[in-house]
Structure formats: C-alpha cells, structure tokens
C-alpha cells in the first residue's frame, strides 16, 4: 500500500497495538521490573510485538519499543515510573546540552535492532514490520521538560528564549534519528514511522523550523543510506501544517483524529498514501459508533492508497471484541 496501490479492502494495524489492553501483554510486562527493561530485552520485546499479530492478524506489526530510547542513548538518564509516565534529566541550559553524547550510542540500542531481526524472522512474509522513532520536536520536548506535560510549555518557551540552543538540540536528535532509523531498516524493518505527537502545539513559523524542516532532513538522510525507504510521517497537525508536512518527502502521512478525511483526500497530493484515522473512543464504544466511523473513513479515502489505523494510540480500556469487530468489518 505504501508503494501506491489502491486496494478494495485497506490493510489495517493500530497504533499502540501491543499494550495494556491485552492480557498477554500485561502478563509478560509483569515479569520485568521496568518498561525500559522490556524495551531492551529482544526476546520479550519480539514476543510482545508478535502478540497482536497472532490474536488479530493485523497486516503490519509495529516494533515494541519507545520514542524515548533515543534520549536514553544520547546519554540522558531516562526512566518510566508506573502511573507517572516518563522521567528524564531536563536539558534546559548549554551545560545540560554539553553533557549529551555527540552521537547516538548504538551499543545501547543494539537490543532494539536485535528485536527487529527477531520479529522479521518470525513474521509471516505478508505481514509488514514497521520500525519507528519520535520526531525531533516531540523527543526534544520531553528532554526539555523532563516529563510529560499538558502542552509542552517548557520546550516552546525555550525555543523562543534561546533558539540557538534549541536548534542544536533539534539537530542532535535529528542526526540520531537518521542513524537509528537507518539501522532499523538495515535490520529488516519494511517501513519506518516518525511520531510527532506534539507538533500540533506549534504555530506556523515554529512548526516550519522545529517540525517540518527536521522531518525533511530525516527523510533525505535516511534515503541517502536506504534509497526508496518507506517513511510514514505522523505530525499530529491539520490544515496548512499538514499540507506542508506533505512536502517533506515522506512516503505516507498518518492523520490525527482531528483531520477530516474527506478534506484530506481533496487537499493532499493525489496518490499520497494516507493512514488513519478512527477515534480510539469509537473503538471503545463499539457498535454503531464504531461501524459508522469505519465506514466514513473508508469511503473518504477509497480512491487513494489507504492504510486503516486509529487517529491516536489504542488505550488500555479498549474491549478486545471491538478490535475483532473492526478487523472483521474491514475484511468483510
């Protein structure tokens, strides 16, 4: 589908498809002290990646890891505390920036690449394996705040107060992302996705500098090493920002739930594959809400390459029968 064909039945996978809504995930997660221990354990991470494929037969698997392994491999102490989300040593000064590694430590990320190799070796040939990283703005926003925030206020304030320092931080994460995604493709990923979950907090000028340009640089950097690499961009933006994201060279764009897929079909370049964008709440609701949401998105994107997905990650309160209903409706 990322190669441009239009299918009568769109392929489907779900963001965060390996996770806490699955009892088999919760069982395995309980065997490691921390979430990062699971991310850095190739045998267990591969198993978790495969769990939703076995259960639902999705058309793609997404590598089980996290976007914050990149700051960790740049030498920034990173942890996840159950119930509190991520915790990092905040980078807010030139001294803090100077403490980072110049280049991403690929030794630290070796277990993730081993997970990619293991999963590709176990997946059916017809199931794609998607690798990923966070986009520089989204990753940097956690590095600056040191934790999750409601609006990434600390990173936005730093970008206005000291744009030179913020530019150096963005450039460091951009270079790390090129190295890391290239290594995932070399290890067997069929495509890679770049999550810019927080791009939507940026006004036009800031979006261009901190989200759009770094995305374009990652695309050209990865393609210099892997010509033809399939790269899915997922900047959670709409309107003009989404039109600009389409100029970065990405193979496909993921749509957030706020994007009207009928508008997207008319506004975005013909033939550009789109991924998305069912509301995770409709999947929780099930029944008519689910069916109507699915049918509307399918009809909007029927004339172009479309990969069915959610518009944001699946949440732990999602009933498993509703996921089965979604897949059955798409395949009927």
Residues making contact with ligand CP3 (CB under 6 A) = 15-20, 29, 35, 62, 64-68, 80, 82, 85-86, 132, 134, 138, 148, 195, 197, 313
Query: Is 19 a known ligand-binding residue?
Result: yes
Nearer to ligand CP3 among residue 66 and residue 265 (C-beta): 66
Query: Is 312 a known ligand-binding residue?
Result: yes
| Of 20, 55, 108, 304, catalytic | 20
Q: Taking the C-alpha atoms of 218, 239, 255 and 133 in order, what is their torsion angle to the nearest 10 degrees?
A: 20
21 belongs to the catalytic site = no
| Of 59, 66, 175, 256, catalytic | 66
25 belongs to the catalytic site = no
| Of 25, 29, 40, 230, catalytic | 29
* DSSP-derived secondary structure for 182-216: HHHHHHT-SEEEEEETTGGG--HHHHIIIIIHHHH
* DSSP-derived secondary structure for 238-251: -HHHHHHHTTS--S
In contact, 271 and 281? CB cutoff 8 Å: no
In the bound state, the residue with its beta carbon closest to ligand CP3 is 197
Nearer to ligand CP3 among residue 201 and residue 300 (C-beta): 201
* DSSP-derived secondary structure for 264-297: HHHHSPTT--EEEEE-HHHHHH-HHHHHHHHHHH
Query: Is 176 a known ligand-binding residue?
Result: no
Query: Is 293 a known ligand-binding residue?
Result: no
236 belongs to the catalytic site = no
Query: Is 275 a known ligand-binding residue?
Result: no
20 belongs to the catalytic site = yes
Q: Minimum distance from CB of 48 to ligand CP3 (Å)?
A: 8
- Cα gap 20→27, rounded to integer Å: 9
40 belongs to the catalytic site = no
Q: Minimum distance from CB of 188 to ligand CP3 (Å)?
A: 16
Q: Which of 169, 156, 141 is nearest to 68 (CA)?
A: 141
Q: Coil, helix or strand for 77?
A: coil
Catalytic residues: 16, 20, 29, 66, 142
Annotation: binding site for substrate: 16-20, 66, 142, 197, 312
């Amino acid at each position: 589908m990322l190669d441009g064909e239009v299918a009568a039945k769109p392929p489907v996978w779900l963001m965060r498809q390996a996770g806490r809504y699955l009892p088999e995930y919760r069982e395995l997660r309980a065997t490691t002290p921390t979430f990062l221990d699971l991310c850095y354990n190739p045998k267990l991470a591969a198993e978790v990646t495969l769990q939703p494929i076995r259960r639902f037969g999705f058309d793609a698997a997404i590598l089980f890891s996290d976007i914050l392994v990149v700051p960790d491999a740049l030498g920034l102490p990173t942890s996840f505390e159950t119930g509190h989300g991520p915790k990092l040593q905040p980078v807010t000064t030139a001294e803090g920036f100077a403490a980072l590694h110049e280049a991403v430590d690929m030794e630290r990320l070796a277990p993730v690449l081993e997970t990619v190799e293991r999963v590709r070796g176990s997946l059916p040939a017809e199931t794609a394996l998607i690798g990923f990283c966070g986009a520089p703005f989204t990753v940097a926003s956690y590095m600056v705040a040191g934790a999750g925030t409601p609006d990434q206020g600390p990173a936005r304030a730093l970008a206005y107060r000291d744009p030179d320092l913020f530019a150096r931080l963005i450039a460091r994460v951009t270079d790390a992302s090129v190295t890391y995604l290239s290594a995932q493709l070399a290890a067997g990923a069929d495509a890679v996705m770049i999550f810019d979950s927080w791009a939507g907090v940026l006004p036009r000028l800031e979006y261009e500098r901190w989200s759009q340009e770094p995305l374009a640089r990652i695309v050209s950097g990865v393609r210099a090493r892997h010509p033809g690499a399939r790269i899915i961009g997922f900047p959670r933006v709409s309107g003009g920002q989404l039109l600009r994201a389409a100029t970065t060279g990405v193979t496909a764009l993921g749509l957030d739930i706020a994007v009207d897929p009928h508008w997207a079909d008319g506004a975005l370049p013909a033939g550009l594959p789109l991924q998305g964008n069912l509301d995770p709440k409709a999947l929780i609701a099930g029944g008519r809400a689910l069916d109507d949401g699915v049918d509307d998105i399918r009809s909007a994107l029927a004339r172009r390459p479309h990969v069915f997905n959610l518009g944001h990650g699946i949440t732990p309160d999602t009933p498993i029968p509703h996921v089965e209903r979604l897949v059955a409706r798409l395949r009927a």
